[in-house]
Structure 1
Amino acid sequence: MSSTLSRPRRLGLAAAALLSLTSLALSGCAGGGGASNDAGGGADNTSITVFNGATGTIAENFNPFSSTALQPTLGVIFEPLFWYNAASDDPPTPLLAESFEWNDDGTQLTIKTRDGVKWSDGEPFTAKDVAFTFNLVNETPELNTTGLAATAEATDDTTAVLTFEENSFMQEPSVLGNRGIVPEHIWKDIADPITETNPDPIGTGPFKVKDFTAQSYLLEKNDLYWEEGKPAINEVRYISLDTADAATGALLAGEVDWMSSFLPGLEKILADNEGLSYVNTPALTASIFTCSSEKLGCKGPQTDPAVRQAIYQGIDREQLNALAGGGFAATASPTLVIPDRDADWIADPENTETPANANVEEARKVLEDAGWVEGSDGIREKDGERLSLGIQTVSGYSDFISLNDAMSQQLREVGIELKPTAITYNEWVNNLNIGEYQLTLESIGLQPSNNPYYAYEKWYNSANTTPVGESALNNNTARYTNPKVDEALSVARSTNDEAVQKEQYGIIQEEIVRDMPYIPIYVNSMLTEFNTDRATGWPTNEDPYALPATWKSWDNGIVLKNITPTE
């Protein structure tokens, strides 16, 4: 699983295992899971079982400040002030706060908190908890993963004021939607909030921890939850399995009610199992990352923008979707904005979508104009350098391996030799971060909000990159530098005027569409499967009220409090 953005990777499932019910590997379902225990039960004892990709031993950690916290910690147990739906462009939904307001220069954020909320131990939630949480982060650099530079004060029980050192409009989603609020009466006595595992978490979320083992853990309904009538489900069990095939078998046998996996032959699986449904919420742009800057130490033909443009024009995305995407992938944009969701942020309509099919003639012309001439074997060369490129992916990432194999054949027609390499996950992450690659496959998406600023700041700002050999910390790993882009980002971050921001994004888009340090392929499918025999009200393609992926923090809490027992 990727350490940058594409956590929901393909699990490499064998198609034969998916269609067979005679070889279910269910031994990893410790205790049988909540679902099987409650089959046929009514609303009073409804339980569902979730597989969110965990394999092997589960390490107990419900610390909402920890990067290794168990996934339901954020959203299911601890809540943010607001919730941002990555599946839509809707305004943020109030949770622990009801409203917020910036001062004119973006240095002070006033938050009105929700009255009447209680912690799961019965203590009242107030704005003092909000101020305590942000001050704890500000005072503890190890907890400050979002670059927050603010102090907080509770001016009364329902008002918290955050004061920033400089204009901080663009920190809004991180502050409001990406920080779990903790109870001051508990955390003020925690000696080391960095290493604390918080085994008995006290939160405001719809569920609380009931039981924990190294193979599974059980959450139960928080009877003190502030939203009337929710949740309707009594228990949620999260399980760990030995293999992905076991998860598929468990889904087919009704032992798992919610999972997010790419399943070859999904339509047939659903046709043969009336109690199963699925939703596809593409949000991650599968892309070819290029080590692009010769100045920062990148080596190889990919440092030539003409080569990157030729690759962009030379791949047949329709064929790639059929071969590697199962037909579920959506069309990407060369601007890296998600077209189906956020097209309003695209300045030039001609840059709305990537080409569906290869334009071999255009790709060849781009290379010829840049001095790349065809060699005796059809592969181009320039100044004695052969247009041969290595492309890395992770062993077991079956869809990306298929992409590499198919693109290798497609790009030979252009005169580009692609040499795929499958390596271990740890090696792949290291190479990506330090720039030890020419091309690599990765995904881009799921930033704090749908405003393109967050993707452009992360992936294109020269301040977020380093020379080859030094870690770029999963930010601008393409080593892309462009003063025009940096300046446009500076202007965009200094305002919350969307018209001004869009103007600046137009400048950025013109540059990145030409330079193409990240070459978009398609918006990868994000398939999530549900068992509707025990619960209904799951997100649908028609009503994506939350991003339903089981690995997605924050959204899990929204989904679990909105599903209802099947009658």
Structure 2
Amino acid sequence: MAPNSISRRTLAIATGAFLLAGCAGTTEPQKPQSQGPLLTIIAEQGATLARNFNPFAATSRWATRNALYEPLMIWNHVTGTLEPSLATGHTWSADNKTLTLTLREGVTWSDGTPFGSADVLFTLELMRTHKGLVGEAATPLAQYVDTITAPDAKTVVIALREAITPALYDLVSQRIVPKHIWEKVADPVTETNQNPVGTGPFVLSTFRPQGYELKRNDKYWQKVEIPGLRLSGYTGQDQINAAVLSGQIDWGAVVPDPDKTFVAKDPANHHYWWPRTADVNLVVNTTLKPFDDPAVRKAFSMALDRARMVDIALWGKSDVANAVGLPSQAYPGWLDESVLAEGKKTVTLDLAAANAALDAAGFAKGADGKRTTPDGKPAAWDLIVPTGWTDWISVAGIVSSSLAQAGITANVKTVGFDNWSSTVYGGKFQLTLGAGKRGATPYGYFRDMLSTATVKPVGEVSTNNFHRYGNAEADKLLTAFAATSDEAEQKRIAADLQRIYVAELPTIPLYEQPDWGAFVTKRYTGFPSADNAYAPLANDPLFPTTYLVYPKLKAAR
């Protein structure tokens, strides 16, 4: 179960979004242009911001990975394509064990130094030798990569120990740093990189603890019209709402019940778009009885009123989950309709069926309507969610009231995020909520959900499979999936993984999670939207899709 905690925390505080498709065009260095208003984005949290622009640090400023340091390629989960960035293409060897990347011509760092394969080689080797560095490529570098070479200035060759084709997406998503700067850094783990030099469309202009500004990088390899970015720290949803509704924000923020509170105030300029890219699940700790029994997990599932969750927590702006926990919008062509039909009854409210399943599993119901477990203990557990995550708190309440109808007690408790994450990731919880992993293929999702390789002992941190379920048959299928680059074969394997998920229901899908995004067109136009779906509109620090959006934005005429 992969919650993407950084992403989810950003959603909870309310962030924007971004994306675009046209970055693959001819390299054309930025030319000086007339100045206009800065693009104001909601993407930072906290009243005081630390000046940290280290792309390998989890606590660095949002602009580090989304405006300053670029990846090799960008997975566009709206269009389903791998977009060129610092690399213009890739090829696999016949045995799918060697990945060759071709780099873009004409790119320079913001200090004027040419970009090349030496920078990519240095970045990846730096991560291999410093285990404390955070980055998309960390897992494949640690587990799969054998050698990295640069045969010429515009070619990088990565040899894997075994065929793991999904590693492509993590490797090319890694933000690249300049060798001539970072080879002089004494400790890249603790470095704050206060004066960043990147290849991105912006450079740092001013910084203060309450916020910072970036100006356009006139050495950038493609045309960007906006003169710069402005970001401020926000301490909570009320402050964000006030900023958005007062017209201070161009891009970002989740506004509750947006049609009434946001769009209605200025229908011509206030817009939002919430494509659905992942699912939220009820997560049970499968190391505990009775949650190790799939029959019990299915009984719980059939007792849940998912439609009410969507109506109340998401203002009706989403849909209930399917039986495999993968939204069709995010994975077109990957879902097996026969498997979805087979599992539909398990994720459909049917209180009679839920009660019958609990009876069959030995959960006796007392005169007060409350059940006991087969060993005679009260069928009561704690359902923990982070304080302040209003959508999850609402959903948890509906889970609790739904299960109560079947005689099950779920005590909703809100705890601070640090407490929640240590308890959940350490496997010391009973019930919680979590979001499925989003990726280019369902491989990562099913690896987190089903693989024995991702199961950690209780007490050991696991941010992925924190429900701690593993299936040996799924392991074989995941290995076969990773070994081939034939998408048709991968889809056949994915169908078998979906069958295992439906049969076992390791977590309980609830609803499709919107990719929160809003924008105002008074100053700039060209944002991604349902009518112009070239990229996502969610300001997620884990995904570099902002680089696809910036070149599309134009000053309002």
> Fold match, TM over 0.5?
yes
- Shift in CA distance, 198/268, structure 1 to aligned 2, threshold 3 Å: closer
Helix, strand or coil for the counterpart of 2:41?
A: strand
Distance 1:404 1:336 in 2: 18
Residue aligning to 1:406: 398
1:261 is the counterpart of 2:254: yes
Q: Which runs of 5+ in 1 are unaligned?
A: 14-41
Residue 156 of structure 1 corresponds to which residue in structure 2?
152
Which runs of 4 or more aligned residues in structure 1 lie more than 4 Å from their structure 2 counterparts after TM superposition?
352-357
Q: TM-score, structure 2 length as denominator?
A: 0.89
Post-superposition CA distance 1:495-519 (Å, at most 9, x none):
2222332232222222222222211
Distance 2:414 2:36 in 1: 47
Equivalence map 1:344-363=2 (5 Å): 344-351=333-340, 358-363=349-354
Q: Within 5 A, what are the aligned runs for 1:250-399?
A: 250-274=243-267, 275-293=269-287, 298=288, 300-351=289-340, 358-381=349-372, 382-399=374-391
Q: CA shift at 1:388, angstroms? A: 2.0
**Residue 302 of structure 1 contacts residue 308 of structure 1 at CA under 8 Å; is this kept in 2?**
yes
Distance 1:237 1:424, change over 3 A: same
Q: Contact 2:110–2:217 at 8 Å: present in 1 too?
A: yes
Deviation at 1:428, TM superposition (A): 0.8
Equivalent runs, 1:227-266 vs 2, <5 Å: 227=222, 230-266=223-259
CA gap 1:467/1:159 in 2 versus in 1, 3 angstroms? closer
Structure 1 letter corresponding to 2:108: K
Q: Give the structure 2 partner of residue 56 of structure 1.
A: 47
SS in 2 for 1:72: helix
The residue that corresponds to 1:32 in the other structure is none
Contact in 1 for aligned 2:304/2:403 (Cα 8 Å): yes
Structure 2 counterpart of 1:485, which letter? A
Q: Which amino acid aligns with 2:467?
A: A
Is contact 1:88–1:341 with CA below 8 Å preserved after alignment?
no
Aligned residue type for 1:58? L
Aligned to 1:192: 187
Inter-CA distance 486–221: structure 2 relative to 1 (3 Å threshold): same
Cα RMSD, aligned residues only: 2.2
Decide whether aligned partners of structure 1 residues 115 and 175 sit closer, same or farther in structure 2, where only a CA change above 3 A counts: same
Secondary structure at 1:326 match in 2: coil
Q: SS of 2:330's equivalent? A: helix
**Deviation at residue 305 of structure 1 after TM alignment:** 1.7
Bigger mean CA deviation after superposition, 458-467 or 192-201? 458-467
Is the 1:318–1:357 contact (alpha carbons within 8 Å) kept by the matching residues of 2?
A: no
In structure 2, how many angstroms separate the alpha carbons of the residues matched to 1:43 and 1:413?
64
Give how far 1:306 is off. 1.7
Which digits, 9 at most, give the CA deviation of each residue in 1:389-422, with x for residues without a partner? 2211112221212112222222222232222111
Q: Could you tell me whether the CA contact under 8 Å between 1:75 and 1:558 is conserved in 2? A: no
Residue 4 of structure 1: CA displacement?
6.2
User: Matches of 1:265 and 1:494 in 2, distance apart?
Assistant: 45
The 8 Å contact of residues 307 and 320 in structure 2, kept in 1 or not, is answered as no
Change (3 A) 1:485 1:342: same
Q: Is the 8 A contact 2:91 2:100 kept in 1?
A: yes
Q: Tell me the TM-score normalised to structure 1 length.
A: 0.88
Deviation at 1:234?
0.1
Kept in 2, the 8 Å contact 1:550–1:556? The answer is yes
Q: Compared with structure 1, are the counterparts of its residues 329 and 141 closer, same or farther at alpha carbon in structure 2 (3 Å cutoff)?
A: same
Instruction: State the 1:184 CA deviation.
Output: 1.6
Q: Offset of 1:159 from its aligned partner?
A: 1.4
8 A contact 2:44–2:231 mirrored in 1 = no
Kindly indicate whether the alpha-carbon contact (under 8 Å) linking 1:74 and 1:554 is maintained by their aligned counterparts in 2. Answer: yes
**SS of 2:52 mapped into structure 1:** coil
Between the two proteins, the alignment pairs up a number of residues equal to: 527
Cα gap change, 1:100/1:456 in structure 2, threshold over 3 Å: closer, same or farther? Answer: same
CA distance in 2, matches of 1:455, 1:565: 39
The aligned residue for residue 38 of structure 1 is none
> How far did residue 291 of structure 1 move?
0.3
User: Which moved further from structure 2: 243-252 or 149-158?
Assistant: 149-158
In structure 2, how many angstroms separate the alpha carbons of the residues matched to 1:408 and 1:126? Answer: 55
> SS at the partner of 1:527?
coil
Q: Which amino acid aligns with 2:43?
A: N
Q: How does 1:524-539 map to 2 (within 5 A)?
A: 524-539=513-528
Match of 2:198 in 1: 203
Moved more, 390-399 or 139-148: 139-148
Give the aligned partner of residue 170 of structure 1.
Answer: 166
| Deviation for aligned residue 1:350 | 4.2
Distance 1:141 1:321 in 2: 41
Map of 2:23 onto structure 1: none
The Cα of 1:470 is off from its aligned counterpart by 2.5
Aligned with 1:558 (options 545, 548, 555): 548
Secondary structure of the 1:141 match is coil
Q: Secondary structure at the match of 1:240?
A: strand
Q: Secondary structure at the match of 2:547?
A: helix
For 1:66 and 1:347, locate their aligned partners in 2 and report how far apart those are by CA, in whole Å.
39
Post-superposition shift, 1:12? 9.3
**Structure 1 residue 8 and structure 2 residue 10: aligned?**
yes
Q: Distance in 2 between matches of 1:164 and 1:341?
A: 28
Q: Percent identity?
A: 30
Deviations 1:311-357 (A, max 9, x none): 21111211111121211123322212222231422234341685685
Q: 1:507 to 1:385 in 2, by over 3 A?
A: farther
Contact 1:135 1:151 in 2 (8 A): no
Task: Report the AA paired with residue 47 of structure 1.
Answer: L
* 2:140 aligned counterpart, secondary structure: coil
